[in-house]
Structure 1
Amino acid sequence: MTQAHDSAQPQPFSLSKRMLIGAGIGLLAILFFLVPGEANPEWSKFWMIRPLIIVPLAGAMGGMCNYYILQFQKLVGLNKIVAVVLSILVFIVGLWMGIVLGLDGTMWD
Structure 2
Amino acid sequence: MIPTVSIDGVPDPLPEGLTVLDVREDIEWQHGHIEGAVHIPLMDLPQRLGDLPTTQLLVICKVGGRSAQAVGYLVQQGIDAVNLEGGMIDWADAQRPMVSENGQPPKVV
Tell me which interval the TM-score lies in, with the shorter structure as reference length.
under 0.3
Tell me which structure has the larger Cα radius of gyration.
Answer: 1
Q: Which is richer in helix?
A: 1
Q: Which is richer in strand?
A: 2
Q: TM-score w.r.t. structure 1 length?
A: 0.23
Q: TM-score w.r.t. structure 2 length?
A: 0.23
- Select the structure with the greater relative contact order (CA < 8 A; seq sep ≥ 6): 2
